Amino acid sequence: MRFGLILGDQLHHQLATLKVLDRTQDVILMAEVVEEATYVAHHPQKIALIFSAMRHFAKALKADGWRVRYHAFESGSPIRSLLDFVQSQQQLFPVTELVITHCGEYRLQQQIEQYWSQQLQLPVQCLNDERFFCSPEQFRHWASRYQTLRMEYFYREMRKQTGYLMQGQQPIGQQWNYDSANRKAWSGSPPLPPQLNFERDQIDVDVLALVEREFCQHSGSLANFRWVTTRSNAKRVLEHFIAHNLPYFGDYQDAMAQGTDTLFHSLLSPYLNCGLLLPKEVCDAAEAAYHTGHAPLNAVEGFIRQILGWREYVRGIYWLYMPEYANRNALQHSSPLPQFYWTGHTQMNCMAECFRNTFQNAYAHHILRLMITGNFALLSGVDPQQISEWYLAVYADAYEWVELPNTLGMVMHADGGLMASKPYAASGNYIHKMSDYCKHCTYNVKTRTEPDSCPFNSLYWYFMIRHEAIFRTHPRMGMIYRQLDKLKDRQQIITHAQQLLSQINEL
């Protein structure tokens, strides 16, 4: 008899673990444990989504004839970790081997590889996670051929490998990337898609009550919990996105607007990352929408690029460079994370809107994360490890393999340009151009050094001044420094920015 341990981000019937086990003889283990639920202060909605999806998946496995041993969360239980649970089940079954699919976090994977076999006195078989298009070994081979690991190079190889939006070896439309066409601001037209609502079953109700009771001290509210927790409903979310959102996704994927939380985004990443959906079925559905004429090429290419390109790329970077990658801090930033990242209380309207969305929904789309909360953390010199922990905690789709490279590499430029050739830094002008946030704000986006000036403006130029030795000769940043050289209020910018940083929690 073998045990098969299934984790909370592995909730799919095509999981490698299930393929090698025998449902007539082997036992599936699943557990909600304190260690995994509390190593960061996860948003209550994230915990509720994972716990409920796990319980629904366990129920489905039992209906398929599997024997399942399930440990429901108990804060006072002596079972604190996944290892504790496996050991407790060893007392009940004559197990000969533990089978598990490769984890999504280095922390847990290392525990399993280095300690579990010895502590369990049991062979541990770790299988490749076949739900991804690219294995860590394949990515390592790709990376060995390049001096610069740019996502675009990787993405083109994945397009050729999978055949998505390809005619032979050439991309449909003769362009690989339509990102330049996907930067329109949204001002109310086209209308937002209809909202998809779902009934809650008893499993959902029980889990929401549990999370409200046990995790109420974590930042974030359960009141607006709208995530689905079964594969059948996740497939409905995918169908709804393809039908209503995808045609406009490309044009407005970078847009931001007051009071609109999702615009035309898919909200599929939590389901992809926990296993309720497979990336292949999502990309297949998007490509089919292009071939039937339902969605334009720029929308479909942009969407597939996020999954086939970026999602696979960041996973490859994570497993290639961990654990050293987690401690990178190329710009030597060390400021503490401002308090408003946990409270949401700030006079900066764009930041307040992002925090509202985050704490109400455990969600914010990629531009809100990159160019609002991330941009501010970069400009104000926040410790990369602190902002990484925040992103990991507050979003329903955040697992370390996908969150850490995005934060350290793309948001904070802490990896020294491994992932992004230049920092994603911007002044308030970018926010003004891509949103209507500024007209609702007490700060003035048009000035730099006045008492009511948008903090992003002086902080942007101060960032460039502080890191001039690194970036002045950068081939993609020459125009920025030519602009800086023309500024007549350089000293006033420095003084104002330093004042802002000294009272950052009051902004």
Whether residue 97 is predicted with pLDDT greater than 80 in this model: the reply is yes
Cα–Cα distances in angstroms (integers) from residue 164 to residues 252, 275, 284, 288, 381, in the given order: 22, 21, 8, 10, 40
Which of 176, 196, 204 lies closest to 266 in space, CA to CA?
196
**Structure tokens belonging to residue 216:** 């109420």
pTM of the model as a whole = 0.94
* pLDDT reading at 120 higher than 90: yes
CA distance 338 to 225: 26
Tokens of 409: 């590499």
In tens, the pLDDT along 199-248 reads 999 999 999 999 999 998 999 999 999 999 999 999 999 999 999 999 99
142-179 tens-digit pLDDT: 999 998 899 999 999 999 999 999 998 899 998 998 88
Q: What is the pLDDT of residue 181?
A: 72
Confidence band of 310 (pLDDT split at 50, 70, 90): very high
Using CA atoms, how far apart are residues 68 and 21, in angstroms rounded to an integer? 13
Nearest to 61 by CA among 33, 29, 103, 106: 29
State whether the Cα torsion 411-415-420-421 is positive or negative: positive
Phi and psi (nearest 5°) for 292?
Answer: -90, 0
Instruction: Give, in degrees to the nearest 5, the angle at Cα 438 between 436 and 442.
Output: 140
CB 336 within 8 A of CB 419: no
Q: How would residue 183 be classed by pLDDT, with cut points 50, 70 and 90?
A: confident
Per the CB < 8 A criterion, the answer to whether 392 and 40 are in contact is: yes
Mean pLDDT throughout 99-108?
95
For residue 185, the model assigns a pLDDT of 86
Give the side-chain half-sphere CA count within 13 A for 301.
22
Residue 39 contacts residue 212 (beta carbons within 8 Å): no
Identify the bridge partners of residue 126 per DSSP, sorted by sequence position: 100
Alpha-carbon span 333 to 380, nearest angstrom:
9
Cβ–Cβ < 8 Å for 428, 438: yes
Q: Work out the mean pLDDT of the chain and round it to a whole number.
A: 95
Per-residue pLDDT at 344 exceeds 90: yes
Please tell me the distance from the alpha carbon of residue 276 to that of residue 8, in angstroms, as a whole number.
10
Residue 281: its pLDDT value, please? 97
On the CB side of 347, CA atoms within 13 Å amount to: 14
Mean local confidence (pLDDT), 115-120? 92
Q: What mean pLDDT comes out for the span 262-266?
A: 92
pLDDT score recorded for residue 470: 93
- Per residue in 390-447, pLDDT (tens digit) is 999 999 999 999 999 999 999 999 999 999 889 999 999 999 999 999 999 999 999 9
Six-digit token string for 348 = 């900066």
Say what percent of the chain tops pLDDT 90: 91
pLDDT of 188 reads: 87
Quote the CA–CA distance of 163 and 169 in Å, as a whole number: 8
Residue 246 pLDDT: 96
- Is the CB of residue 155 less than 8 Å from the CB of residue 164? no
For the chain, which domains are there?
2-127 (3.40.50.620), 136-309 (1.25.40.80), 340-506 (1.10.579.10)
pLDDT per residue as tens digits for the range 478-507: 999 999 999 999 999 999 999 999 999 999
